[in-house]
Structure 1
């Protein structure tokens, strides 16, 4: 049985153009709703040969995406008032002529006028945003925070009110409330770099506001690097799972705990790079992924005629990295190799050499390319 995402389309027949033009595919890329993520993950697992095509289509859509402007209710009200005032100031002959217009013609003219207004708002909002970067003062204005600055040349460990802790890098600043009990979230504000170890609390997500982006977790360890003068922001996950989204999205949703459109999910050994100028997220694997299991478990990675699928599964669990392959094509393959004390990528090299395959890192996961065992 072929698993397909919502829409009941046969995506196996799609080329890159079809994916780029498809509404369901674009919704997955731009909104990344949990149900879409699950459906597409299942489909790509079943159709690993489509990974390269899907990844390229995603890159195309992401390259042309423009985040919608955040327009406040006050701005809309002001523009509406100005529009009405303009209409009322027209000479009587003009108003009489407008009154004789058919309803449909008036509707079309009004729609064009509103479109022009929204276009102007879009332009000026983006222009204002470009001229007003996220600074420390902008992030923390009107908030009563405990602020600490690391003026030393070594990381400083700071304990937070909920039992979480962080290692604040030199030249970095952190701000947080005296206690988190009065808020549905545990919010901290960072300018610079810090490694966080968060106490798990499913009822009260932990959020790090770092210039343009927000990193949200329930309990995990990760690093955020976001100096104001840097052109990029980086988030690196050590354990657990985090979600990252643009600060602009925060003000458009009612609940701070809701899923955000356009958020990126990161798992261990994945890194997010946010390009400030382009407003673009990129998810990649670390250059040297670390084990998330004990070294004792790694010492068991010595295989003799071991089932290949089991080896891939153990490797995936040891590093928390998704490895995608065609299970039907490789289910009868076996591997004989000593993978102890090898780096993650060298382990992959040894396995792929043994079975005559290759791999590529796409969107923070490993995709195995193979024509079967050799």
Structure 2
């Protein structure tokens, strides 16, 4: 049966097997399908985001829960709801809309009960340390014991700014290895020399960041509850080091999948929950020459032209219903304005609002003013 996801509400998505697989397994084909579907139906971004949050909140690092336990918990919760139902006379005056929300409540309550039951059987969370990654290996190590960042140049000409109280190490045979692997504890900014045939990988405790050539910052102090990766230029992929070994790739069972990070995006990894969250920076920077900003003056310009210019200048995705807003025009002077101020001015011109979801901007509008 062909599903019409346009008619789905939050409950429908939470119970849909294909949607659940996308959230939990993050297969490439599912990513392509859902990203394309959301591009064509931007009005569903908020519903999708809420459904994802519900499913992710039920995801834990745990042992499998036996099927009979799941069935028992669901039956117990349903019986509780039945025992508390009103008298027949009252039930008859209920609307179909009310019954639907009641059904949704039962479903979510059952899911919550299963999640709670699973948490009581949670396996110990495995976290990876710098010491474990670098033990028994022939490495060149640099430690910053000063109060200021220090600048290091690797054998491949990549440049690192190592923050105070941080350390970094790499193999003595770094120049001849198939991959350029470094190990970080603390914080460092990387400006990586581009070598397409030799990927550059940073092992920072629980996560691995893989690039070909770009600039980015990683903060991964062992006492912090989170690890953060922030991209300045280019793109990086980030995944968890589930094996706990140096040289690990992102194909271990249970790995939450690879997350692609673009300029002006930050990935926050919560160590205890073992979850990724992608966010935009508070003050995104332009990645194009300064003269591009000087040309951002518009007089009755098509909305698409303005949004495309902003998106390209910051390499940030802006999602909106192009058919609905195809006749909108903008008159505004956006020069020297920060990213979010630009968005405010454009949205005000067409009577729209915006929200940042999963590292991209989603425009909400009902038409033009």
TM-score, normalisation: structure 2: 0.79
1:277 Cα offset (Å):
1.6
Q: Partner residue of 1:76? A: none
Residue among 245, 249, 254 paired with 1:256: 249
Q: What aligned pairs does 1:17-28 form with structure 2 within 5 A after superposition?
A: 17-28=11-22
Within the candidate set 300, 304, 307, 2:295 is matched to: 300
- The whole-number CA distance in structure 1 between the counterparts of 2:244 and 2:28 is 18
> In the aligned structure 2, how far is the partner of 1:183 from the partner of 1:211?
21
Residues 94-109 of structure 1 aligned to structure 2 (within 5 Å): none
Residue 174 of structure 2 corresponds to residue 180 of structure 1: yes
Instruction: Choose the corresponding residue for 2:309, options 309, 314, 324.
Output: 314
* 3-state SS of 1:329 partner: coil
Deviations 1:327-359 (A, max 9, x none): 001111100000010010000000011111000
Query: What does residue 232 of structure 2 align with?
Result: 238
Provide the residue aligned with 2:270 in structure 1. 275
Give structure 2 stretches of 5+ with no counterpart.
Answer: 64-119
TM-score normalized with structure 1 length: 0.78
C-alpha deviations, 1:282-301, integer Å up to 9, x for none? Answer: 11100000001111111111
1:1-28 deviation digits (Å, cap 9, x = unpaired):
xxxxxx9522111111121222221222
In 1, Cα distance between equivalents of 2:233 and 2:244:
25
Structure 1 residue 137, shift from structure 2 partner:
1.1
Alignment partner, residue 208 of structure 1? 202
Contact 1:29 1:58 in 2 (8 A): yes
Contact 1:28 1:37 (8 Å CA) reproduced:
yes
Contact 2:210 2:237 in 1 (8 A): yes
SS across alignment from 1:127? coil
- The whole-number CA distance in structure 1 between the counterparts of 2:250 and 2:47 is 33
Label 1:203 to 1:34 Cα distance change in 2 as closer, same or farther (>3 A). Answer: farther
- Structure 1, residues 274-323: CA drift from partner, whole Å, max 9, x if none? 11121121111000000011111111111111110111011001001000
Return the alpha-carbon distance in structure 1 between the equivalents of residues 61 and 257 of structure 2. 9
Using the TM superposition, name which of 297-306 and 9-18 deviates more.
9-18
Go from structure 1 to structure 2 and tell me whether the alpha carbon gap of 1:249 and 1:52 turns closer, same or farther (over 3 Å shift).
Answer: farther
Secondary structure at 2:344 match in 1: helix
Which whole-Å CA distance do the structure 2 matches of 1:144 and 1:313 have between them? 49
Question: Which runs of 5 or more residues in structure 1 are unaligned?
Answer: 1-6, 70-121
* 1:102 counterpart residue number: none
Q: Is the 8 A contact 1:162 1:199 kept in 2?
A: yes
RMSD between aligned alpha carbons? 2.3
Cα separation, partners in 2 of 1:173 and 1:25, compared to 1, 3 Å = same
Checking the alignment, whether the CA contact within 8 Å between 1:185 and 1:256 is kept in structure 2 is: no
Aligned residues: 311
State whether structure 2 residue 42 is matched by structure 1 residue 44: no
Task: Render the CA deviation track for 1:48-80: whole Å, top value 9, x for unaligned.
Answer: 0000000111111111112467xxxxxxxxxxx
1-side partners of 2:244 and 2:57: how far apart? 22
In structure 1, what is the Cα distance between the partners aligned to 2:176 and 2:50? 45
Alignment check: 8 A CA contact 1:145 1:177 kept: yes
